[in-house]
Chains A and B, each alone.
Chain A
């Protein structure tokens, strides 16, 4: 191994990769949410369909899609390696154990929460990205130009209660993942400071709750109000 691979295969190095990719994924969540908020516009999906057409054809966006994929891949790969290592480090469990006396539930269950997010992610991509990119959707005319009607796909999906349920559960898992993960990423990068850490912790909590609530509001809105 050269010094580079040795750095990033040590437990401390892998966590650095997880924190950088984790924060990058958080920035993706913001962009994704801002785009999706257009679903709340009462325009029959016009703005949203124009936006999804832009996302599908803009070169920079398409490139960033690959960066995003790499971000997920590294985050998930290192999560797997570290979680398995951590299980092997405690082969015999305690018969009487009270970890709730010294730590939060989310912090102890990042692997479980991540797995729920991964399952959600696969369902989510299968719902929207695959049809949008590969299958071809029904056409819709906006100002006499033909676009693909992704909005109709959203309306259709969120009329089924089990999709709504899956999405809400996915967002609850993401919220708990981030309530621990956001502030944890800064500690992983060595940023622990009397001035900044309280702010990071507060911001991370608010960020996790607000972002996940806003995402979860979309399926609920379509199910109950559209």
Chain B
């Protein structure tokens, strides 16, 4: 396949960036999108140009490191797919493909296509954990949890923190990510101790980071590679209302 790529290039956080056009030839439809970029980078290196910086790690859809806004869609045009799992057979010979970094005030661009997603880490640190005393390994099934509840918690726990929800949302809202983390723990017995404090602190940190507010547009869930559902956002709101009404936390 021969393609034309239009890629966002930006030297560092403080420089202005622009779209740069690269023709690329001889791409196999069996390559993944990132392998296609690897080929381009090899070319650039041979020509003595700076390769395109992009995030990646596992390349098997589980770590959440890869990103990229491809042809106007987070993680590209296929639903339920991370960029590393997107294959070139979904494009046609002769296509022009635009590649941009996630755009959000809370995700500043580091370099080229790499954005700083540490805002997510700070939200997690604000409450996305449980405190337990370590000791012996607990027996299996010591704490009974209904299958339906365990399934919901597990579904929420599949969030890989990639940030596609923020990238896809017109408002740059992080609420799908935060709601996945809040629901996952609020559903389980182990999450009860910090239940109210968790949602209060995580929402407060989300606001401090400068993410937008949710208008229930739904583009986040539609573009989420692991299919985190909007039900989690409703649950976050219930948790928030209950916490504000019942917790004894004063600011």
Out of B6, B72, B214, name the residue touching A15 (CB < 8 Å): B214
Give the distance in Å from the alpha carbon of A134 to the alpha carbon of B85 in the complex: 67
- Decide: A110 near B241, CB < 8 A? Known: A11-B206, A12-B203, A93-B103: no
8 A Cβ contacts from B1-56 to A: 6, 19
- B250 in contact (CB, < 8 A): yes
Out of A3, A95, A107, name the residue touching B251 (CB < 8 Å): A3
Q: Are A89 and B104 in contact (CB under 8 A)?
A: yes
- A98 in contact (CB, < 8 A): yes
Out of B104, B217, B231, B234, name the residue touching A90 (CB < 8 Å): B104
Note all chain A residues with C-beta closer than 8 A to B100: 94-96
- Decide: A12 near B236, CB < 8 A? Known: A85-B212, A89-B211, A102-B219: yes
Out of B168, B238, B244, name the residue touching A3 (CB < 8 Å): B244
CB distance from B149 to the nearest CB of A (A): 15
8 A Cβ contacts from B214-251 to A: 214-219, 222-223, 230-231, 233-238, 240-241, 244, 249-251
Chain B CB count within 10 A is highest, among A2, A91, A93, A110, for A91
Out of B6, B173, B218, name the residue touching A102 (CB < 8 Å): B218
Q: Are B105 and A103 in contact (CB under 8 A)?
A: no
8 A Cβ contacts from A81-115 to B: 82, 85-86, 88-99, 101-104, 107-108, 110
Q: Are B212 and A101 in contact (CB under 8 A)?
A: no
Note all chain B residues with C-beta closer than 8 A to A192: 230-231, 233-235
Out of B71, B206, B240, name the residue touching A98 (CB < 8 Å): B71
Q: Are A14 and B213 in contact (CB under 8 A)?
A: yes
Note all chain B residues with C-beta closer than 8 A to A122: none
The interface bits of chain A over 22-34 (1 if a CB of B lies within 8 angstroms of the residue's CB, else 0) are: 0000000000000
Out of A6, A89, A101, A107, name the residue touching B216 (CB < 8 Å): A107
Give the distance in Å from the alpha carbon of A109 to the alpha carbon of B144 in the complex: 46
Give B contacts to A, CB under 8 Å.
6, 19, 69, 71-73, 77, 98, 100, 103-106, 168, 170-173, 175, 203-204, 206-207, 210-219, 222-223, 230-231, 233-238, 240-241, 244, 249-251
8 shortest A-B CB distances, which residue pairs?
Answer: A89-B212, A192-B234, A89-B172, A98-B72, A190-B238, A11-B213, A86-B171, A102-B222
Starting from the known contacts A86-B215, A103-B222, A187-B216, 4 additional A-B residue pairs (CB-CB under 8 Å) come to A11-B211, A86-B172, A94-B100, A108-B170
